[in-house]
Structure 1
Amino acid sequence: MNKAITDGLVLMPPPFSAGLNLWSREDGTPGSASYAGQPNAAFVPADQDFAGCMELQKTVGTQSLRAFAQTPLRPGMYLRVTARVKAIAGSLPSVRIAGWAGRSNGSNVSGVPQTGPAKALTSYGEVVTVTAIIGSGDRQGVDMVWGTAAVYGHFGLDLTGPTGGVVRIDDIVIEDVTDVFHRNMMDWVDVRDYGALGDGVTDDAAAFAAADAAADGRRVLVSAGQYYLGESVTINSRVSFEGTLTMPANARLACTRNYDLDTYASAFGGELAGFRRALQVLFYFSDHVTLDLSGRRVDLPAPVDVADVAGLASFAQRRVLTNGQLNVVAGSAWNTSTTTSVATYAPAQPYRLTGVTNVANVPVGARVSGTGVGREVYVLSKNVGAGTLDLSQPLWAAAGTRTFTFHRYKYVLDFSGFSSLQKFEVTDIEFQCNGEASAIMLAPSGNTFRLADSVVNKPKDRGITSIGAGCQGMFVDQCQFLSNEQPLRAQDRTTIALNVNSNDAKIRDNRIVRFAHFAVMNGTGHMFIGNHFFQGDEETAGVRRAGLIFTQPNVKTLVTSNYIDNCFIEWSNEHDQAPDFSNEFSFGGMTVDGNIFTVNDAGSFFRWFVVTPRGPGHYINGLSVTGNTFRTVNANVDRVEAVDTTHADLDYARFRNVVFSANTFNGISQITASPLTIEHAQGTPADTWVVDGAAYLPFGGRARNVQAVVAEGAITNVNNVQQVPVPYVQLEQGSGGRFVHLRWPAAVKGRVHVTLRCDAPV
């Protein structure tokens, strides 16, 4: 409904019958000349068409008529000014609605249109109606767009064209026609009503802010158009987008009530641009910690450098990316960068390469390979001026000057541009890598990164890569890692699901399918609980590779309740610049408890637990393998554990705290136990009984401890007379020290149960 009074605002100018002194012949501002007493103007009380009207003779080129009354304007308000005019005599002029736009300080708003469309009078006595609509927004049908600076207007009309003509003008009508554009009952305000032009050039940031401030619980509508925002804008109201935005790279749009991918995709014209903008804002919110991808797919033609998107070097507050799919689109941006350089390594500087040729071209985050380099060593940082590279881990046998190769994989989410990132979480996200890209590269430092309830699907090279200490306290929970190399033989695969350089990773309830390796783990304090990882293939008597690889000797790690399928645990010290034992902690701190170990179609040489010392002198001090089930299918394995002596053997004479107990063995030729209770039957009387438990002891270890000797039945002499002797034991007898001798006071025979161990007594 059109209104002459809106929310207490008087819109109508005074009628002409109230006096021509209320009407200006200039612009209507205070002090301008009026029509009172003018020879070319008079009030006509009666007219056959008008109840009362003003008769006016045109005497100048543009004859102005303005009300001295100030008609108020507010952002979002639209007024229609209507005049009915007829020619009486003389030349026929043209007529148009006109006004003067006033600021709150009384000055004119220059640069805005202050006249409406003109209409020519073509005959005498014909009543012609002219109208114009004035308002703040650039909407279709608005003749005079005044923006938000104008707070009132002096309205009237102009006569243009030839002079000398006489016209009569009915009382001018001003109506609120805001309802034509949006009704009061609508729960939104439009940014165009607050001065936004949406021309893609004019900076509409102030108009967006004004609309948000005026919304007062209503929704902000960004109607059709392309809007340029030249600075960061925060919209605290609910917002919806019909139009799209462009902004400088360092400017941010913060939609505090609609912080999700749907909103940002609409705002920036697509999922990719919307995702990058929403991700940028995630690091600047104080009242939002979660970016919801709204269950949508974002196609990525190139890696997302998250630090560059955020414009930050470090971040320490909890933030979460959740609920969607990041889909890699094939292209050259995902190609691995490979560089070869000559460099020098000195064990005295275990984390640094010096004298690096071509150092500027070696990218941070590149994997290092070469003689004497362990698995999953990465470039942590570089100093081009000094010609040095800092590494994530030491090199075990690379002393001297040699050639190294650096492979820089490309990642869907690359956090390596941060110096430190803490408490960032990714949940319910599918990384659809499509064999083109890796998934996540962590920041060089930071703690408690979390990946949960997500899928890493077909990574080209790596699932999660740590190039430094950004994996400290990492959580990986209830995820799937699905290899891109599943059809290949196990020995031909190169992809790795994840690696860790620091301490306290919690890897729980995940499913990992047919990678070269599941995890390469440095650091201590890790927990692997409830995972199912399998790495088999279709080969008969096929090669099997390590699923879990621990790269330092003393790990303080728990491996429990996992399903370890067609792969094994390897325990190495390949990230040690001095791998020979030298009074440090040796291999220890490992608990392997309650797991299911299985293998299909493997050769008899397969083992589920392998220790690989890279230098001599090491031993085991703290290993518990208890309550596990070992089973073969279409295979017969010799035993479950082994030492890989390619580089060195263990010192079996120093074993301490080694327990293999309560395990079950199916399809394994030789079980393993320590403590081991073995039955020894001596049929021929002798004063020395040789008890052989060597085949049962872990890793073929030495018989270093006897806990008990219990006779089963009588011990008798050669005449079958019962004896009550007490033997003593001699440990580590025979070849390799793998036998125990029971020494009796005299030659006796009988049956005993001997409990022996491969480790020294406490």
Structure 2
Amino acid sequence: MNKVITAGLELMPPEFEAGLDVWSSGEGTPGSDTYDGVPNAAIVVADADFAGCLELQKLASTQKLRYMGKTPLLPGCYLQVKARIKAVSGALPTVRIAAWAGDSSDSHVAGVIEVGSSTTLTAYGTVVEVSAIIGTGSRAGVDMPWGLAATYGHFGLDLIGPNGGVVRIDDIEITDLSSAFLRDMVSVVDVTDFGAIGDDVTDNTAAFEAADAAAAGRQILVPAGQYFLAQTVSLNSPVFFEGSLRMPVDKMLLLRKSFDFPSYAAAFGNEEEGFKKAFQALLNSADHESLDLAGRMVTVTAPIDMQAAVPNRSSYSTRRVIRNGQLAASGGAAWDTDTWNEQATYDPNDPRKLKNVNNIANIPVGALVEGAGVGREIYVRSKNTGAGEITLNAPLYDAVGTQVFTFKDFKYMLDFSGFSALSKFGMTEVEIQCNSHCSALRLPSAGTVFSLDHCFISRPKDRGITSIGSGCQGILVDNCQFLSAEEAATVPNRSSVGINVNANDAKLRNNRVTKFRHFALLAGANNTITGNHFFQGDSIAGGVRTAGLIMASTYCASTISDNYVDNCFIEWTNEQDPTPNFSGGFSFSALSITDNVFLSSDVAPWFSYVVIKPYGTGHFLNGVSISGNKFRSINGNIDRADRVDTSFSDLDFSRSKSVFFEGNTFHGISTAVASPLRIRHEQATVASTWTVSTAGAMPFQGRARAVDAVVAIGPMRNSSGTYQYPRPWVQLEQGSNRDEVKLNWGESLRGEVQVVVRVDK
């Protein structure tokens, strides 16, 4: 680079023979004294060494010589000032290149070096050359680094030392030496050429911006050093970092042409800090929809508060994605769970509030809440410290009054709970490797369509994905693997949960989930759970199993299809109902469980694959379809595939409606249930009333509430053996369990019939 050529700069001062009125004995600024007509300065036209030169007698302690013209100094430019001088008579002085630095407003730039190295003349008639390099950057070989504040200089020399001597000075030369400082004249622009100083103190914002402006698409080089940037910097050219940066948390580095994790990791010299700054830029730039981790592993030493990394954003709703890499937790006390046991009051008339909470300031948003009458996966959604109130993500089923609650703050690798809302955010092909140190993701309080696709949630300590509010609305979890940290533990000793959802429209599809206590708790409606394989067994013979999938909403409106439910079960509850006794609505309704594979081994005989657990009285089935499933128990039979957990209450089977339990297969299961249920009943002795038992084969051991058909198989005979052709009338809900029907013939008969019985009307 040569600015004389590329920028058309005039650098060379005029020859002395052109007149001394432009050569100052001061700093060269307008109005300073010149050498024109003074007695100690004269032009020598012919000299043996110099064609023409200035003869000058030293009369001042510092005899200055400055060109009064403004020699420009552009960003990235390096100028060499050179002079040839010889002593003629008298005392021998010392000589040095010197200058005066000026800014764009013609003010003096203070604090910069304005003299070069000194050379003492030692003999008369010997020509000595002195030189110095002036430039914007503090580079090796630069004598006077002026930074970006100086835009021009008055250049010349100083004579110092003893007075009285006479010297002759050849015409002063100023040349552009910028090319000597460029590593690659074509493709690299060095920030230090624009005044950047890697001392971790100087604010280099202006220098970086100037380098970017000059780069015009070429690569910017940040050489070794620690560079402080006090303000947000946006770079529109590719950047290569040998050195690293330091910035305030609220200031951003926007690498528009180098936007990927490796660039940010290099920029900040730390993977964790680089990830935070890259995420900050992702939410503050329209140029990129995703942050590419480029296959890199980011070592994470403490929970990352994702909102704190972007302090200018409390909410965000434009699609953004983190993709293609791994975040791995390293051990340390930062991951330890914090626990508080504090007294609070619960009123079911205000079902999402805890009031009069002791030490509420200590309890963080996002903490798990446990206590008597508290359902699973209840979290602190928000709090009002002044009012002493906590808002919960869901109501409590039986916690009325005052008690001591336990609050557990699990630590999450990526914690989004600081966002008031975050929508259309996703992660693709990312492994969150918790290494048993921490949980994985805590979702924001509100938002829609958070998505994970082809991701790994590996060995979370407590939770995989936690929703503390409605940030799970429309969540999409597809083709992911949830790998438990509790695989070696027996089922009763497991406590980790893969995911919980509070809002509607969750989609869990084609995921593989290993040995958590629960795969998922879904408390919203309109969910699709399809194609997943979740398994939770252990090697204990006759062992217990926990729910793989918990549906915690009575009106479910959900489809569970084509899953592989392995050594666990589907549980349907109303544990998030503040008034769990049925008082209106649809009760347990609108759930379809179809075409799944259910498998268990070495389980207790009372184990079942579909369990309904009402937390209050009066509930009933109202629109349930369980069809096309394959139920199989190995290494020991189980009693039945379906069951009501009556720990709190039973279902009211007198109100069952639209219940279909059909087309399923049963292997290793003692009682195959169905509704409609086809029963072949043979009456060997004549009787006018035949009692037909369903033998517990009504779904969930419900009642025989309807008969769709009675068909005779073969002839009906009376006591004398005569064929009869009667039409029976039916009595429903007979027997102590009300699961029998009676066929009344009007006369005593014997024979065989097929009866189709239903558990509903």
Q: Please state if 1:503 is matched with 2:504.
A: yes
| Segment drifting more, 207-216 vs 97-106 | 97-106
Aligned partners of 1:430 and 1:478: how far apart in 2? 12
Q: Please state if 1:577 is matched with 2:560.
A: no
| Segment drifting more, 563-572 vs 55-64 | 55-64
What is residue 515 of structure 2 aligned with on the other side? 514
Tell me how many residue pairs correspond in the alignment. Answer: 760
Aligned partners of 2:441 and 2:578: how far apart in 1? 28
How far has the Cα of 1:690 moved from its partner? 2.5
Q: 1:334 to 1:679 in 2, by over 3 A?
A: same
What is residue 265 of structure 1 aligned with on the other side? 265
What is residue 114 of structure 2 aligned with on the other side? 114
Q: Please state if 1:305 is matched with 2:302.
A: no
Aligned partners of 1:52 and 1:427: how far apart in 2? 75
What is residue 202 of structure 1 aligned with on the other side? 202
Counterpart of 1:254, as a letter, is: L
What is residue 280 of structure 2 aligned with on the other side? 280
What is residue 373 of structure 2 aligned with on the other side? 372
Counterpart of 2:240, as a letter, is: S
How far has the Cα of 1:444 moved from its partner? 1.9
Cα distance per residue 1:391-450 (max 9 Å; x no partner): 222221222222222211111112222222222222222222122211111122222222
Partner SS for 2:700: helix
| Segment drifting more, 79-88 vs 422-431 | 422-431
Counterpart of 2:124, as a letter, is: Y
| Segment drifting more, 86-95 vs 326-335 | 326-335
What is residue 641 of structure 2 aligned with on the other side? 640
How far has the Cα of 1:287 moved from its partner? 2.4
Counterpart of 1:308, as a letter, is: A
What is residue 173 of structure 2 aligned with on the other side? 173
Partner SS for 2:214: helix
How far has the Cα of 1:3 moved from its partner? 8.2
How far has the Cα of 1:2 moved from its partner? 7.2
Runs of 5+ in structure 2 lacking a partner?
Answer: none
Aligned partners of 1:105 and 1:373: how far apart in 2? 71
| Segment drifting more, 134-143 vs 374-383 | 374-383
Q: Please state if 1:73 is matched with 2:70.
A: no
Counterpart of 2:681, as a letter, is: H
How far has the Cα of 1:13 moved from its partner? 1.8
What is residue 231 of structure 2 aligned with on the other side? 231
What is residue 149 of structure 1 aligned with on the other side? 149
Alignment of 1:417-456 (within 5 A): 417-456=418-457
Aligned partners of 2:524 and 2:128: how far apart in 1? 89
TM-score by length of 1: 0.96
Q: State whether residues 2 and 175 of structure 1, in contact with CA within 8 Å, keep that contact through their aligned partners in structure 2.
A: no
Partner SS for 2:448: coil
Aligned partners of 1:103 and 1:74: how far apart in 2? 11
Q: State whether residues 6 and 176 of structure 1, in contact with CA within 8 Å, keep that contact through their aligned partners in structure 2.
A: no
What is residue 44 of structure 2 aligned with on the other side? 44
Cα distance per residue 1:706-727 (max 9 Å; x no partner): 2222333333444544433333
Partner SS for 1:122: coil
Aligned partners of 2:359 and 2:458: how far apart in 1? 35
Partner SS for 2:709: strand
Cα distance per residue 1:61-115 (max 9 Å; x no partner): 2222223343332111111111111111111111111223233343333332222
Cα distance per residue 1:319-375 (max 9 Å; x no partner): 222222222222222111111122222221211222333333333222121211111
Q: State whether residues 282 and 288 of structure 2, in contact with CA within 8 Å, keep that contact through their aligned partners in structure 1.
A: yes
How far has the Cα of 1:683 moved from its partner? 3.4
Q: 1:64 to 1:300 in 2, by over 3 A?
A: same
Alignment of 1:749-760 (within 5 A): 749-760=750-761
Cα distance per residue 1:478-513 (max 9 Å; x no partner): 111111111111011111111111111111111111
| Segment drifting more, 741-750 vs 185-194 | 741-750
> Sequence identity, in percent?
53
Aligned partners of 1:175 and 1:2: how far apart in 2? 9
Counterpart of 1:258, as a letter, is: S
Counterpart of 1:359, as a letter, is: I
Q: 1:33 to 1:586 in 2, by over 3 A?
A: same
Aligned partners of 2:49 and 2:31: how far apart in 1? 33
Q: State whether residues 138 and 145 of structure 1, in contact with CA within 8 Å, keep that contact through their aligned partners in structure 2.
A: yes
What is residue 487 of structure 2 aligned with on the other side? 486
Partner SS for 2:689: strand
Q: Please state if 1:726 is matched with 2:727.
A: yes
What is residue 739 of structure 2 aligned with on the other side? 738
Q: Please state if 1:126 is matched with 2:160.
A: no
Aligned partners of 1:38 and 1:358: how far apart in 2? 86
Aligned partners of 2:124 and 2:182: how far apart in 1? 39
Alignment of 1:508-547 (within 5 A): 508-547=509-548
Q: State whether residues 3 and 9 of structure 2, in contact with CA within 8 Å, keep that contact through their aligned partners in structure 1.
A: no
Partner SS for 1:295: coil
Q: State whether residues 694 and 702 of structure 1, in contact with CA within 8 Å, keep that contact through their aligned partners in structure 2.
A: no
Aligned partners of 2:617 and 2:111: how far apart in 1? 86
Aligned partners of 1:756 and 1:12: how far apart in 2? 109
CA RMSD of aligned residues (A): 2.0
Partner SS for 1:214: helix
Aligned partners of 2:466 and 2:534: how far apart in 1? 18
What is residue 396 of structure 2 aligned with on the other side? 395
How far has the Cα of 1:22 moved from its partner? 4.2
Partner SS for 2:264: helix
Aligned partners of 1:409 and 1:508: how far apart in 2? 26
Counterpart of 2:504, as a letter, is: N
What is residue 246 of structure 2 aligned with on the other side? 246
How far has the Cα of 1:193 moved from its partner? 1.9
Counterpart of 2:26, as a letter, is: E
| Segment drifting more, 108-117 vs 21-30 | 21-30
Cα distance per residue 1:445-493 (max 9 Å; x no partner): 2222222221111111111111222211111111111111111110111
| Segment drifting more, 661-670 vs 32-41 | 32-41
Aligned partners of 1:436 and 1:111: how far apart in 2? 52
Aligned partners of 2:494 and 2:427: how far apart in 1? 27
What is residue 693 of structure 2 aligned with on the other side? 692
Aligned partners of 2:376 and 2:103: how far apart in 1? 71
Counterpart of 1:155, as a letter, is: F
Aligned partners of 2:36 and 2:361: how far apart in 1? 85
Alignment of 1:613-762 (within 5 A): 613-760=614-761
Aligned partners of 1:621 and 1:698: how far apart in 2? 13
| Segment drifting more, 501-510 vs 67-76 | 67-76
Aligned partners of 2:120 and 2:99: how far apart in 1? 19
Partner SS for 1:211: helix
Q: State whether residues 5 and 11 of structure 1, in contact with CA within 8 Å, keep that contact through their aligned partners in structure 2.
A: no
Counterpart of 2:523, as a letter, is: N
| Segment drifting more, 670-679 vs 58-67 | 58-67
TM-score by length of 2: 0.96
Aligned partners of 2:24 and 2:6: how far apart in 1? 25
Aligned partners of 2:467 and 2:106: how far apart in 1? 64
What is residue 82 of structure 1 aligned with on the other side? 82
Q: 1:183 to 1:583 in 2, by over 3 A?
A: closer
Aligned partners of 1:514 and 1:483: how far apart in 2? 6
Aligned partners of 2:554 and 2:4: how far apart in 1? 87
Aligned partners of 1:479 and 1:686: how far apart in 2? 62
Counterpart of 1:437, as a letter, is: C
Cα distance per residue 1:164-201 (max 9 Å; x no partner): 11212222222211111016733222222222222222
Q: State whether residues 694 and 701 of structure 1, in contact with CA within 8 Å, keep that contact through their aligned partners in structure 2.
A: no
Aligned partners of 1:704 and 1:189: how far apart in 2? 85
Q: State whether residues 448 and 474 of structure 1, in contact with CA within 8 Å, keep that contact through their aligned partners in structure 2.
A: yes
Aligned partners of 1:217 and 1:257: how far apart in 2? 9
| Segment drifting more, 312-321 vs 602-611 | 312-321
Aligned partners of 1:209 and 1:449: how far apart in 2? 36
Q: 1:3 to 1:755 in 2, by over 3 A?
A: closer
Aligned partners of 1:310 and 1:465: how far apart in 2? 21
How far has the Cα of 1:5 moved from its partner? 4.7
Aligned partners of 1:341 and 1:35: how far apart in 2? 88
Counterpart of 1:680, as a letter, is: H
Q: State whether residues 543 and 602 of structure 2, in contact with CA within 8 Å, keep that contact through their aligned partners in structure 1.
A: yes
Aligned partners of 1:99 and 1:563: how far apart in 2? 82
Aligned partners of 1:547 and 1:712: how far apart in 2? 44
Aligned partners of 2:86 and 2:4: how far apart in 1? 24
Aligned partners of 1:727 and 1:6: how far apart in 2? 109
